[in-house]
Every structure is written in structure tokens, then in C-alpha cells.
Amino acid sequence: MKKYFVLFCLCALLLSNCKDKKEENGKLNIVTTTSMITDLVNNIGGDSINVQGLMGSGVDPHLYKASEGDVSKLVNADIIFYNGLHLEGKLVEVFEKMGSATKTPIALADEIDETTLIGSDYFASSYDPHVWFDIDYFKQFAEKVAIVLSEKDPENKAVFEANKVSYISELEMLQNKVKSVIETLPKEKRILVTAHDAFNYFGKAYGFEVVGLQGLSTATEAGVQDVQKLATFIIEKQIKAIFVESSVPKRTIEALQAAVKSKGHDVEIGGTLYSDALGNAGTFEGTYIGMFDYNVNTIVNALK
Ligand SMILES: [Zn+2]
């Protein structure tokens, strides 16, 4: 009799370990990397999940290294969502070490049709990872998050589905708004010069020529030649404003402004754009939708 009891306990223990959710308060524990993905997962999961985002506002994902605290969050998570395409360059190794059948971190960018991605020599993935700047891609992220949450927590499937539908309709409203704001800027003025090449997908989707001073990753610094070449380009194209990014030090763009000035011209700093991280939590720019809206208005107002 006792033997069976021990067997029963062992099975129960194994089962409870396999049951990958709902330990403390009956909610899935989810870990996310960038603030864009944290906001998205919060929108789809609502009160039915716990979300811990590793990267706050102003944090550069290209350079981000996991702390010990992060590793324990990752180990205890039911699901891990990240961008992928080597955006989180230094986290990939941690993910690879943790890889197990029950908890494979989910790279949302894997959802996107590869043939539509913008190529890049800077990243091990060979693609530009800044895909969230095309709202259509972000909608695909939303679809995937809803599917994964529903698989892990089928009881709340209807909630996740309803949240997804309403969030996607907000994204569609955002898309329409963005297009109509951009319409007010003459086509020849749609040239976006920023600190690093985060806005190529934005440019492709919404009709801007995009030039980043630093390559695609902030891990490589811009050289003096790049600055001089870009200064000449700004003067030739009569570009009114260039932009700082919240997650990249200002000095690169200030050096460019100084180079334009040394050639006898002026270019304004048109404002700070949110590129690889959202604004402070609790503010409008602390959401994906608010960030996008703010960026587009800042760009269009400064370039007009
Ligand atoms: Zn970036």
C-alpha cells in the first residue's frame, strides 16, 4: 500500500512540475525583454497574467546584459517573449543555455515572413531587427502572443482573444492616424536622420528615406568620416532637423549638428525619438501606441 502511495506522490510531483503555470496566484508568470513587448503582452494578457519586463525606458537592448536577478526571473517564468533577430544580442546566450522543451523562449520576430525583412550585415541574424516600427508587424506579434497565452492557459482563452481583437483595432486606428499626419509633410521633406539605424522599417512602411549615423546596432560607434559625409548630405538635401534617440547617447547627433555648422549651415535637433525603448511607465509615451504617435508628430512637426 505504502509503495503505491509513494508512487502516487512522485507522479503528482512530476505532474505539478510539468503543469507550467499558476503557481502562486493562479496566473501565468511571463518575462519579456523590451518595453514594447512588455506593453504588448500586458495589453493581451490584462489582469489574467503577471508580466515582468527586463528592460525599462531608455534601456538599449543591443547592449543589455542579464543580471543575476534577471536570470532567476527567466528560470522561473512560464513563458519568455523576446524580439529576436539578434536585437537582444547579449541575451541570446542566456536563452540558449536555458533552452528546454517546456520553456523555449519565443522570438516574436520569427512570426514575420523572412522575405519581407530588411537585410543587414551588422547582425548575426542578417536582418535588421527593428521590426516593431512597422505597425503591421506589431499586429503579427499580437496574434502570436494571444496564441501562446491561450495554449498555456486555455481557461482564459476567451479573455486573451477579446483583448487581442480590441488591441489590434487600436493599432489599426494608430496606423490610420500616422498615415494622415505623414500626408501633411511634403514628400521631398520625408528624410529622417537619427542617431542609429532603428527606423528602416518605419521608412519602408510610411515612405521616409532613413539615414542612421551609427549603423544598425549601437555597439559600433560612428566614425569621423561618417559624420562628415552625413553633414554634406544634410546640407545638399536642405534637411531642417535631425533627431536624438532616447536609448542612445546624444553626443553622436550633437557631433553631426556641429559638423553641419562648421560647413556654414544650420540644422536643428528636432526632438528626442523613442527608438529601442518606450518612454517612462505611466506616461503616454510609455505605451507602444503613445510612443508611435509621439514619434510621428515630433518628426513631422520638425521637418515641415
Ligand atoms: Zn536599435
Separation CA 151–CA 224 (nearest Å): 51
Q: Which of 80, 82, 81, 89 is nearest to 125 (CA)?
A: 89
Please, which residues have CB within 8 angstroms of residue 110's CB and are 6 or more apart in sequence? 84
| pTM of the complete model | 0.88
In the numeric block, the cell 532567476 is attached to 72
Tell me the three cell numbers of residue 70.
534577471
200-204, long-range: CB within 8 Å, 24+ apart, which pairs? 200/118, 200/128, 200/130, 200/133, 201/118, 201/128, 201/130, 201/131, 201/132, 201/133, 201/134, 201/137, 202/133, 202/134, 204/118, 204/134
Q: How far apart are the first and last CA of the chain?
A: 83
Ligand 1 center to residue 184 CA distance, Å?
Answer: 27
Ligand 1 center to residue 159 CA distance, Å?
Answer: 33
Three-class DSSP category at 256: helix
Ligand 1 center to residue 72 CA distance, Å?
Answer: 26
- ∠ CA 118-120-123, nearest 5°, is 125
Ligand 1 center to residue 110 CA distance, Å?
Answer: 17
Ligand 1 center to residue 62 CA distance, Å?
Answer: 6
Please list the pLDDT of the chain residue by residue as tens digits (304 residues).
444 443 443 334 434 444 445 555 789 999 999 999 999 999 999 999 999 999 999 899 999 999 999 999 998 999 999 999 999 999 988 887 776 655 789 999 999 999 999 998 777 778 999 999 999 999 999 999 999 999 999 999 999 999 999 999 999 999 999 999 999 999 999 999 998 889 999 999 999 999 988 765 566 666 777 889 999 999 999 999 999 998 888 898 999 999 999 999 999 999 999 999 999 999 999 999 999 999 999 999 999 9
Ligand 1 center to residue 259 CA distance, Å?
Answer: 24
Whether the CB-CB separation of 242 and 275 falls below 8 Å is answered with no
Ligand 1 center to residue 79 CA distance, Å?
Answer: 24
Ligand 1 center to residue 207 CA distance, Å?
Answer: 20
Please report the sign of the dihedral spanned by the C-alpha atoms of residue 81, residue 127, residue 64, residue 275.
negative
